[in-house]
Structure 1
Amino acid sequence: MIFIIPKEIASENKLWKSIYIKDFVAIIGTLFFAWITSASIYKGLVLFYYIFLLSICIILISKSTKNPNKRVWQSVAILFMRSNRTYHSVNFEVRDNVQE
């Protein structure tokens, strides 16, 4: 009996063209958050509030150009969660300055 082994098991499910299910849920969640909190926003600015939150959401869920296989929100989280007190040694070879 021959088994077919998939090459990629962590693929994301697409909902439509370049919209993934996780992205769609994030957008719907952002719009729901905007709807809930829009009562505390000045009436003349509610439309701009929706546009602002939606644009921030789209920017954060887009794929990062600097970190492959990561989203922008993941890159931002890594930036804020890293410890500046952690030092990593740099490997280099020390040579004697002996003239032959």
Structure 2
Amino acid sequence: MKQSFLFLLAILSIFTIACNKDKTVTACIEMDKTTINTGESITFTSCSENEWSYAWTIIGPDSAVENTMGWNDIYFVQKFDTPGSYQVKLVTYSDFSFLGESAKDSASFTVN
């Protein structure tokens, strides 16, 4: 009985790995706003597929504190106090801890 269970578990594991191996990781960014005023926030959400890890960065005006920050969740909310043009970048990975196949996406937004 125990051998049958282990055999079945092994077959199931191989099938799961084989099925997931054919899936390509994608990166996709959704924002609830593309233009805000200073003091307001934007929600950034990953609409990616087949990903396990997220690496978000924001690039803005030289004085923007977000230039030195990073996020690694499926979504995050950020308030902006420095006006200017910004770009958010997302790198997704097919495995935990930023390993495996990766994909990239970026989007722009403005703080008035």
Work out which of the two has the higher radius of gyration on C-alpha atoms and give 1 or 2: 1
> Above 0.5 in TM-score?
no
Higher RCO, Cα 8 Å, sep 6+: 2
What's the TM-score once normalised by structure 1's chain length? 0.29
Which structure has more strand as a fraction of its residues? 2
